[in-house]
Structure formats: structure tokens, C-alpha cells
Amino acid sequence: MKQVNLRELYPDTYEDDVYVMVNDEVYETICEFERQESTSARQRRRRETQYVSSYDNRISEPSASPEESVLMTDQRVRIFELVMSLPPKQSKRIYETFYLGKSIRDIAAEEGVKVSSVYTVIARGLKNIRRKL
């Protein structure tokens, strides 16, 4: 029998530490899930890093004319202005996700809300930006 802290497994539900005893099979299942989740997060970060570096390489190509560079900069500024013109909750969550690189899970944990609600607010904000573009 192993001891498990439910607050670590369900941070949205438990505010205080709640320890329960589970059999070895359940404990191994929990550990396997955490390993898979960690691997998935690591792979996601790796993909994001590869995407960002390939994006940076495309921007720094000498083939972009000065006019194209100005247009790209203007477009980035316009998108940033649109993000900041959204309702506060949408703009904050989109800014933290796309500009600061925070994960949706981290934002949810910081704000004490469900991951699905953060995802929904971001999706709504992006839909509003698409409409304005």
C-alpha cells in the first residue's frame, strides 16, 4: 500500500492535502499516467521550440524585402492591438499563452479555474480576432 496526496492529483477539487492509501497496482497506474503526461509536455515544448526556431529562420532570410519586413511588423502590431482590445479575461489569457508561452494548464492553475474554461476563453478570443481581421 502506498500513500497518495489527492491535492496533487486533483488541484481543482482539493485545496488542502488529503492523503489516502492505495494498493500498489493503483499507485503504479498513477505513476505511469504522470510519466506519460511529463513525456507529452516535454514533446510539446520540443515541437514548439522547433516551430519557433524555424519561424525565426524564415524571418531572418535575406529574401524579405524592406517593404515585406515593414508589412510583417505592421501586421504583428495590428494583431497585438486586437488582442489588447478584447475583453480583459480573453486578452490576458491569449497574451499569456501566445506571447509569454505559458501552457493552458499553468494559466488554469494560477487562476484557480478549470483547464477547459481557459481553453474556451482563448478560443472565443481568437474567434473575435478572426472576425475583426
Q: Residue ranges of the domains in the chain?
A: 1-63, 66-133
Bridge partner list, 3: 21
How large a percentage of the chain has pLDDT more than 90? 33
| CATH number of the structural domain 66-133 | 1.10.10.10
What's the whole-number average pLDDT of the chain? 84
Range name among 59-68, 106-115, 123-132 with the lowest pLDDT average: 59-68
d(CA 73, CA 58): 14
Give the C-alpha distances (Å, rounded to integers) separating 34 from 7, 80, 82. Answer: 14, 36, 37
Q: Which pLDDT value is given to residue 46?
A: 77
Model pTM? 0.49
- Mean pLDDT throughout 45-72? 64
Q: Which pLDDT value is given to residue 92?
A: 93
Q: Which pLDDT value is given to residue 10?
A: 83
Band (pLDDT 50/70/90 cuts) for residue 14 is confident
All residues at 6 or more sequence positions from 124 whose CB lies less than 8 Å from its CB, including other chains: 90
What are the pLDDT digits (tens) for 64-105?
677 777 777 778 888 888 889 999 999 999 999 888 889 999
Q: Which pLDDT value is given to residue 11?
A: 83
d(CA 34, CA 55): 31
d(CA 99, CA 125): 14
DSSP 8-state code for residue 86? S
